[in-house]
Amino acid sequence: MSAQNHKLREIVRLAGLGPSLDGAESWHELGFDLLDQMADVLDRTATAYAQLFPADPTATPSPTVDALEAMLASNPHKATAFLQALLSVTEAQALMMVWRILHGDEIVSVSVKYHESDRFELVVDLRAQGGGGITSFQTHDITCAPLLGHFGIIIIDGQPAFSGFYAHRI
């Protein structure tokens, strides 16, 4: 196991999600390694993130194992929420969206399109924290739909709003 995978395993366990890994260990015998998949997805997400949000020392860090470790130390609930997403989806666009929400971006709009035996589409527009620009995250992977269940749902002045991304109880 690589050093990064070992660190990722420890982060998952410290976040209270160890049973997810334990259940997946039987899959390892069949040639599937959940930690390898998680590390690969996280690497693809970090690469896509760096392209979409070029390096800026004051900006939100890229979603890496080290950034997850720092998040776990400073805000374990946010780290757990991200890890739950990482355990359930493999789409970089969706994970970048989750990462940005956890770092303060506001959910401006959500659009879900589905028609039986046709294409699925999820589009989430976020406003950068501090009133910045709008970034649109789009996926056609229906396995990302459960991420909407992590959104905070509130009513502000009688109007519906999505606010934040939260871990499910474990």
pLDDT at 31: 45
Question: What is the structure's pLDDT at 25?
Answer: 58
pLDDT of 33 reads: 81
pLDDT confidence band for 30 (50 / 70 / 90): very low
pLDDT at residue 114 tops 70:
yes
| pTM recorded for the entire structure | 0.91
Q: Mean pLDDT check: name the lowest of 13-22, 87-96, 140-149.
A: 13-22
pLDDT digits (tens, 9 = 90+) for 39-97: 999 999 999 999 998 866 667 899 999 999 999 999 999 999 999 999 999 999 999 99
Query: What's the average model confidence in pLDDT over 101-111?
Result: 96
The pLDDT mean for the chain works out to 90
Q: What is the DSSP annotation of the chain?
A: --HHHHHHHHHHHHTT-HHHHHHHHHHHTTT--HHHHHHHHHHHHHHHHHHHS---TTSPPP--HHHHHHHHHH-HHHHHHHHHHHHH---HHHHHHHHHHHTTPEEEEEEEEE-TTS-EEEEEEEEPTTT--EEEEEE--GGGGGGGGGEEEEEETTEEEEEEE-PPP-
- What is the percent of the chain with per-residue pLDDT over 70, rounded to a whole number? 91
